[in-house]
Chains A and B, each alone.
Chain A
Amino acid sequence: MTAGKGSLSCVGLGMMLGAHIGPRARATIEQADVVFGAVSDPLVELWLQQMHPDVRSLQPYYAEGKSRHDTYRQMLDAMLGEVRAGRQVCSAFYGHPGVFARVAHKAVAQAREEGFEAHMEPGVSAEDCLYADLGIDPGDFGCQHYEASQFMFYQRRIDPSAYLVLWQIGVAGDRTVRRFSTGPAYRRLLLERLAEDYLADHVVTLYEAATLPITMPRMERLPLSQLVDAELHLQTTLVIPPAIPLQRNEAMMEKISQLDDEARTKSPSRDQEEICQTSSVSLKS
């Protein structure tokens, strides 16, 4: 297929109005022929609308009882339709356009498949805000991330010595993809699974990033057992801190020690020769 002059850019606005948007995302919005907006806060949507004269909200595609598969297909059609019409299209997503936003990935892939230029511009995601607000460094103990429903549907091996972050906890267990919340009965099933690795009184955090500069993030600590009756929203994330210390892998440590010992017995000139060879290979590859 011949590429037209249409193009697609999926950009991230970041989570907070006015705070996180990068210069490349802003310029892409301002220079587009048409802008589609997928944001989660009404004031953020108004902010986006004031960056460009033709901003089209994707909110009307949602409806209670409507399959989100249909919703996302229609969003995709709306965006690609303008690209095929030869327009420079920008789709602006809250947070990062490629995190928990399959529609953006699909749109970019589809546009490229049809021969159009398409790219994604990253943004500050809820995950980024979570690390900053909760003071978590994923490098300290490791951090596992799962979408809550998928976590329930499939066999997963949890490492309780690392953080466990479950996204979309408010719709945990939803197989219909038509609801915007599930209820206590579904959360009890989730707790049943989590109880295999955590005690009921293990303190967890319900987190929601702030979307406006005059509001605070939600950082509510509670025992895991109280999750069933907690107030949960679409944007609520469950953060479970490590429950046990890091478990040392003695067998691996022994093997590494052997390698270290072998390296020490080699002559310095030999080591230097190997480093030069490795550098040469790296430069070629």
Chain B
Amino acid sequence: MSDVIRVLEELGRNPSLSMACSEKYFASVSASALNAAQRHALLGRDMEALNELVGGRNTMRCLIATPE
């Protein structure tokens, strides 16, 4: 698993780490084995930058119900 996704998964599992303005969040991201650009994007909660860094799709569609 990529380090960025691993960090996101851990943040998802543990809400105390990802709460806004949480010192734990800053500490856990700072202590992670991510490169500087990835850490910067995570600390800035910049999802577009993070997605670009890890090679995610640019466009995503959600399922759209088709009413009869």
Q: Which residues of A contact B (CB under 8 A)?
A: 16-20, 38-43, 45-47, 50, 57, 59, 62, 68-69, 72, 93-94, 100-103, 147, 149-150, 153, 167-168, 171, 177, 180, 212-216, 234-235
Is B62's CB under 8 angstroms from A46's CB?
A: no
Q: How far is the CB of B39 from chain A (nearest CB, A)?
A: 12
Q: Contacts of B65 on A, CB cut-off 8 Å?
A: 100-102, 147, 167-168
Is A213's CB under 8 angstroms from B64's CB?
A: no
Known: A68-B64, A100-B63, A234-B62. Is A213-B57 also a contact (CB below 8 A)? no
Q: How far is the CB of B57 from chain A (nearest CB, A)?
A: 4
Within 8 A of A (CB), among B2-32: 2, 5, 8-13, 15, 18, 20, 25
Is A102's CB under 8 angstroms from B18's CB?
A: no
Q: How many A-B residue pairs have CB under 8 A?
A: 103
Partner of A47 from the list B5, B47, B67 (CB cut-off 8 Å) is B5
B36 within 8 A of A: no
Is B56's CB under 8 angstroms from A43's CB?
A: yes
Q: How many residues of B contact A (CB 8 A)?
A: 32
Q: Contacts of B50 on A, CB cut-off 8 Å?
A: 43
Is A46's CB under 8 angstroms from B60's CB?
A: no
For the complex, give the distance between the alpha carbons of A94 and B62 in Å: 9
Q: Contacts of A62 on B, CB cut-off 8 Å?
A: 61
Interface contacts beyond A43-B56, A100-B63: sample of 6 additional A-B pairs, CB < 8 Å, sorted by A: A19-B15, A43-B51, A153-B67, A177-B64, A180-B64, A214-B18
Is A18's CB under 8 angstroms from B64's CB?
A: no
B66 within 8 A of A: yes
Q: Contacts of A42 on B, CB cut-off 8 Å?
A: 51, 56-58, 60
Is A103's CB under 8 angstroms from B63's CB?
A: yes
Q: Which residue of A lies closest to B58 (CB)?
A: A42
**22 intermolecular pairs with C-beta atoms under 8 Å apart:** A17-B8, A17-B9, A17-B12, A18-B8, A39-B60, A42-B51, A42-B58, A46-B2, A46-B5, A46-B54, A46-B55, A46-B56, A50-B1, A69-B66, A72-B66, A100-B65, A147-B65, A180-B61, A180-B64, A214-B8, A214-B25, A234-B64
